[in-house]
Amino acid sequence: MLRKNHCRSRTGPAGDADMFGTKEVFLIAALLCFITFLVLFSMNESRVNGVRPLLLSSVLGMAGNVLYAFGKELPPLIAYEGANAVYAAASAATLVGYRQLFNTRPFISLLAAAVALLTCLVAYFHYFVDSFIGRTCVASLFQVGIAAGIGCTVLQARDEGEQSRYARMFILAMCGLVAGGHLLRVVRQCIVSDAPKSLLEPSGWNVFLLSGGAFVLPVLILGGLLLAHRRLISDVQHAANHDFLTGAWSRRAFFDAGEREAVRAKRHGKRLALLLIDLDNLKPVNDTYGHAAGDEALIAFVRTAQTTLRSIDCLARLGGDEFAILMPETDLSGAVSAAERLKSRWKSAGGASQAASVTFSIGVAVLRDDDSFNTLISRADKALYEAKGEGRDRVMAQRDVDLAPAMI
Contact between 26 and 68 (Cβ < 8 Å): yes
Q: Least separation, in Å, of the C-beta of 407 and ligand GTP?
A: 17
> Which of 103, 108, 97 is CA-nearest to residue 55?
97
- Contact between 23 and ligand GTP by CB under 6 A: the answer reads no
Q: Given candidates 155, 245, 312, 349, which one binds ligand GTP under the rule CB under 6 A?
A: 245
Residue 281 or 306: which CB sits closer to ligand GTP? 281
Q: Given candidates 47, 165, 291, 347, which one binds ligand GTP under the rule CB under 6 A?
A: 291
| Site map (CB under 6 A) of ligand GTP, residues 68-87, x = contact | --------------------
- Contact between 321 and ligand GTP by CB under 6 A: the answer reads yes
- Interface with ligand GTP by CB under 6 A: which range of 57-65, 123-131, 292-300, 371-379? 292-300
- Interface with ligand GTP by CB under 6 A: which range of 10-18, 185-193, 294-302, 325-333? 294-302
246-265 residues near ligand GTP, rule: CB under 6 A: none
Rounded distance between C-alpha atoms, residue 20 and residue 154, angstroms: 37
- Contact between 280 and ligand GTP by CB under 6 A: the answer reads yes
Q: Least separation, in Å, of the C-beta of 167 and ligand GTP?
A: 37
Q: Least separation, in Å, of the C-beta of 279 and ligand GTP?
A: 5
* Residue 245 burial (C-beta neighbours within 10 Å; 0-12, 13-18, 19+): exposed
- For residue 156, give Cα distances in angstroms to 147, 153, 178, 217: 14, 5, 19, 21
User: What's the sign of the alpha-carbon dihedral 384, 386, 391, 395?
Assistant: negative
Residue 201 or 321: which CB sits closer to ligand GTP? 321
Q: Least separation, in Å, of the C-beta of 269 and ligand GTP?
A: 36
Instruction: Give the number of C-alpha atoms closer than 13 A to the C-alpha of residue 97, restricted to the C-beta side.
Output: 27
Cβ neighbours for 94, distance < 8 A, ≥ 6 positions apart: 53, 54, 57, 146, 150, 217, 220, 221, 224
Residue 256 or 295: which CB sits closer to ligand GTP? 295
Cβ neighbours for 314, distance < 8 A, ≥ 6 positions apart: 249, 254, 257, 258, 261, 325, 326
- Contact between 279 and ligand GTP by CB under 6 A: the answer reads yes
Q: Given candidates 19, 183, 295, 306, which one binds ligand GTP under the rule CB under 6 A?
A: 295
- Contact between 288 and ligand GTP by CB under 6 A: the answer reads no
Rounded distance between C-alpha atoms, residue 408 and residue 402, angstroms: 16
CA 334 to chain centre: 39
Comparing every residue's Cβ against ligand GTP, the nearest one is 294
Beta strands in 240-349 (DSSP E): 272-280, 314-319, 322-328
Q: Least separation, in Å, of the C-beta of 326 and ligand GTP?
A: 21
Q: Given candidates 23, 76, 392, 408, which one binds ligand GTP under the rule CB under 6 A?
A: 392
SS3 392: coil
Q: Following CA atoms 384, 385, 390, 392 in sequence, which dihedral angle do they give, to the nearest 10 degrees?
A: 60
Rounded distance between C-alpha atoms, residue 303 and residue 312, angstroms: 16
Amino acid residing at 53: P
- Contact between 278 and ligand GTP by CB under 6 A: the answer reads yes
Contact between 355 and 296 (Cβ < 8 Å): yes
Provide the phi-psi class of 310: left if phi over 0, else alpha when psi is between -120 and 50, else beta: beta
- Interface with ligand GTP by CB under 6 A: which range of 25-33, 173-181, 275-283, 367-375? 275-283
Residue 211 or 281: which CB sits closer to ligand GTP? 281
- Interface with ligand GTP by CB under 6 A: which range of 190-198, 214-222, 273-281, 347-355? 273-281
- Contact between 165 and ligand GTP by CB under 6 A: the answer reads no
Q: Following CA atoms 217, 94, 40, 47 in sequence, which dihedral angle do they give, to the nearest 10 degrees?
A: 170
- Contact between 391 and ligand GTP by CB under 6 A: the answer reads no
Q: Given candidates 211, 286, 354, 378, which one binds ligand GTP under the rule CB under 6 A?
A: 286
Residue 237 or 288: which CB sits closer to ligand GTP? 288
Q: Site residues (CB under 6 A) for ligand GTP? A: 245, 278-283, 286, 291, 294-295, 298, 320-321, 392
